Amino acid sequence: MRARTLHVRGVRRRDPRRTGFVRWGALQADLLIVVALALTVSACQGAGTTAAEGWTPSRTPDGQPDLQGIWTNYTATPFEVPDPSDTPRLYAGDPDGTGRGTGPSSFLNDTIDRKLTKERSLVVDPPSGRVPIMPWAEEQRTARLLSIQDHYANHTPWERCITRGVPGGIFPTGYGSGYQILQGPGYVAIVYEMIHEARIIPTDGRAHPGSGIRLWNGDSRGRWEGDTLVVDITNYNDKGNIATNAAAQRVRAIPQTETLHVVERFTRVDENTLSYQATIEDPTVFTGPWTVAMTLQREPDYKIFEYACHEGNLAIPNTLSAGRARDRAR
């Protein structure tokens, strides 16, 4: 798994150059930022998974706890607890810091007029709020993010309009963070607004397919534990990323492999609040399991618009074109 290829100027090469992208002078403000944050944020550990006292969800006609509705998860909570070793500009695809706050990082977006929750971090376990990523995976992430002008495959699957992944598809971002849950006998379906993804999750006890079946989003199998929908996901391919959005910071573009195993838990804790947790383990990439927790808010009036990502995805050819202009200038 460590021999994954890196695409550099159309040539498939074995692994990554180690880069010294950290420019301490330029990043000094960022370091102060993370220290300030670490000192000032609350120690809230994110969403619980038990229903509010005295409240139980209604049932669907076939007796499932009713999770149906339109939910959103806009938030200002950082993905991880920040650390001085972080390199936010790299994670955002702007290692030189020339973006000047323009572009995607500062789009006016769907968070306007929203009161955003802000807790310590979405990562609630380990208690440090830091994902235990192996060094090789960070090196591969870094090499790819520094080479997106050289090959389309160095972009995340989100930028390529393939998928934001599972569980990555529910990691909060700045726009298009609407989700619709629908239930029928033996199934739960989730429609994701962002790049209009959909999951159909059987809850009838069937087993995962054989190990020869490998999928970008893995194979989801659900079951009910009390009022909690538990989804077990295996059968991933080794092409995707555990997170694709820049808000995931250090975890963005970290590879997923065939040994990835995810367990999600959805619990409706009151009429308007859905608790979500995902425990992620991949012994090829992480030194131990880690858990992300968040709440989604019911928002019946939120309109989920179609997001046909690939219809005009000029970002990839334009980025490659910028790379060729860079090469000519050298």
Partner 1 sequence: MRMPLALAAAAALVAAAAAPLRAHHAFAAEFDGTKPVKLTGTVTKMEWINPHAWLHMDVKGTDGKVVAWMVEGGAPNALLRRGWNRRSVPPGTVVTVEGFRAKDGSTRASGGAVTLPDGTKLFIGASPDEGK
Of residues 196-225, which lie at the interface with partner 1 (CB under 8 A)? Answer: none
325: three-class secondary structure by DSSP: helix
For residues 230-249, which are near partner 1 according to CB under 8 A?
245-247, 249
Neighbours of 60 (CB within 10 A): 16
Q: Which of 16, 57, 78, 240 binds partner 1 (CB under 8 A)?
A: 78
Under rule CB under 8 A, residue 117 binds partner 1 = no
Q: Please return the burial class of 281, using the count of CB atoms within 10 Å of its CB with bins 0-12, 13-18 and 19+.
A: middle
179-198 positions binding partner 1, by CB under 8 A: 193, 195
- Is 45 exposed, middle or buried (CB count within 10 Å of its CB: 0-12, 13-18, 19+)? middle
Vertex 262: Cα angle to 34 and 77 (nearest 5) = 25
Among 101, 205, 210, 300, binds partner 1 (CB under 8 A): 101
Region binding partner 1 by CB under 8 A among candidate stretches 24-32, 125-133, 214-222, 279-287: 24-32
Give buried/exposed letters for 266-277 (b at 16+ CB in 10 A, else e).
bbbbeeebbbbb
* Residue from 107, 204, 213, 226 binding partner 1 (CB under 8 A): 107
**Among 155, 221, 268, 298, which residue sits at the site for partner 1 (rule: CB under 8 A)?**
155
Tokens of 38: 């670490």
Residues 273-312 touching partner 1, rule: CB under 8 A, are: 305-312
Residue 104 found at the interface with partner 1 (CB under 8 A):
yes
Q: Which residue has the tokens 């995902």?
A: 278
User: Closest Cα to residue 64, out of 198, 167, 204?
Assistant: 204
CB of 299 to partner 1, least distance (A): 12
What DSSP designation does 133 have?
A: B
Closest approach of partner 1 to the CB of residue 217, in Å: 18
Q: How far is the CB of 44 from partner 1 (least distance, A)?
A: 15
User: Which helix (H) or strand (E) is 183 found in, with range?
Assistant: strand 178-184
| The binder of partner 1 chosen from 1, 5, 30, 66 (CB under 8 A) | 30
Q: How far apart (Å, rounded) are the C-alpha atoms in residues 272 and 71?
A: 9
Does residue 142 interact with partner 1 by CB under 8 A? no
Among 83, 99, 215, 270, which residue interacts with partner 1 (rule: CB under 8 A)? Answer: 99
Among residues 202 and 323, whose Cβ is nearest to partner 1? Answer: 323
Residue with tokens 């990502």: 309
**Cα Rg of the chain (Å, integer):** 20
Out of 5, 111, 180, 279, the only residue in the binding site for partner 1 (CB under 8 A) is 111
**Least distance CB 90 / partner 1 (angstroms):** 10
Q: Which residue, 247 or 260, is less far from partner 1 as judged by CB?
A: 247
- Residue count at the site for partner 1 (CB under 8 A)? 75
Q: How far apart are CA 4 and CA 258, in angstroms?
A: 13
Comparing CB distances to partner 1, the nearer of 2 and 324 is 324
Name the residue with tokens 């009151």.
270
* Residue 65 Cβ vs partner 1, minimum distance, rounded to whole Å: 29
